[in-house]
Amino acid sequence: MGEIPTREIRPGLHWIQECGPERFDLANSTPGLDGSWYRNRAPLHLPQNAYLLRAEKTLLFDTLSPAAGGWVVDVVDEVLDGAPLDYLVISHPDVPHAGNTGRLLRAHPEAKLVAPRFGETHALYHLDGALKVGPGDAIDLGGLEARFHEATFLDHSMHMWMSESTTGSLFTVDWLGFPHMAGECLHFTHELDSAVSPARLVEFHGRVMFWFQYADVERMVEAIDRVWDDFHPKVIASGHGLPIVDGVRSYFDHMKEVVRYVRENGRTGVV
């Protein structure tokens, strides 16, 4: 399969990336915002991400989409480097996040499936036998600790975020996702030629979190500030973007602009 699509973000924290299908042409998709980050007709990807925590025990957060089914087990096994997979955590039962759950559990029957305790539809998603977790719950991995939180910005009613304090990581799932161009795969945001602007963030949130158009902007701004105050993350590990490991605070300000834009312009963006 060529280059192994994984990179260590911090000691014990590994990123596995599925770039997703190529898309093209963002011209004028977000009028009024600076789209200079995008090279016209450049192949564009909306990634799916999974993250593997590796300490005395191991934990995989999300599974990528079925399109990665031919290689995801091999890549996870390479990162595990002979260790068992102790926990498989599903942030929410959406195909890009849970699409390889069965495949990974068959390859690693020793793994304990972990799912959000929210909602009453676990049987529908074959999650009845999972360990149910939510706010206040944690899994001690021996050197790293995964803590679970209610998602501040939802994509699904059965949806949770995760944090890990030793690495300073906040796993925001769909929030703070954005597309990247060919040549930017497996990059951190500060390594890109052009900064991740509100315009790039709108391309994702204006489509996936279109409900921003109905939101109370001031309440949303307060919620964004509350996430920062609660976590002060050093790493943002989203489900659909590139990891943010530098200048994290600025992205919270960008997201305030994103909310205001979608509120005023309605559903927008191409991915």
Which of these, 98, 108, 218, 221, lies nearest to 160 by C-alpha position? Answer: 98
Write out pLDDT tens, residues 228-260: 999 999 999 999 999 999 999 999 999 999 999
**What would the 3-class secondary structure string for the chain be?**
CCCCCEEEEECCEEEEEECCCCECCCCCCCCCCCCCCCCCCCCEECCEEEEEEECCCEEEECCCCHHHCCCHHHHHHHHHCCCCCCEEECCCCCHHHHCCHHHHHHHCCCCEEEEECCCCCCCCCCCCCCEEECCCCEEECCCCEEEEEECCCCCCCCCEEEEECCCCEEEEECCCCCCEECCCCCCCHHHCCCCCCHHHHHHHHHHHCHHHHHCCHHHHHHHHHHHHHHHCCCEEEECCCCCECCCHHHHHHHHHHHHHHHHHHCCCCCC
Tell me what pLDDT residue 67 has. 94
The pLDDT score that the predictor gives to residue 24 is 65
Q: What is the pLDDT of residue 74?
A: 97
Distances in whole angstroms, Cα of residue 231 to Cα of each of 125, 175, 201: 30, 15, 21
pLDDT score recorded for residue 113? 96
pLDDT of residue 31: 72
pTM (predicted TM-score)? 0.95
> Does domain 6-265 match CATH 3.60.15.10?
yes
CA atoms within 13 A on the CB side of 37: 24
pLDDT in the model for residue 125: 73
Q: In the prediction, which pLDDT does 13 show?
A: 98
**In which residue ranges of the chain is pLDDT below 70?**
1-3, 24-29, 124, 270-271
Sequence spans of domains, the chain: 6-265
Residue 126's pLDDT is what?
76
Instruction: Supply the pLDDT for residue 268.
Output: 83
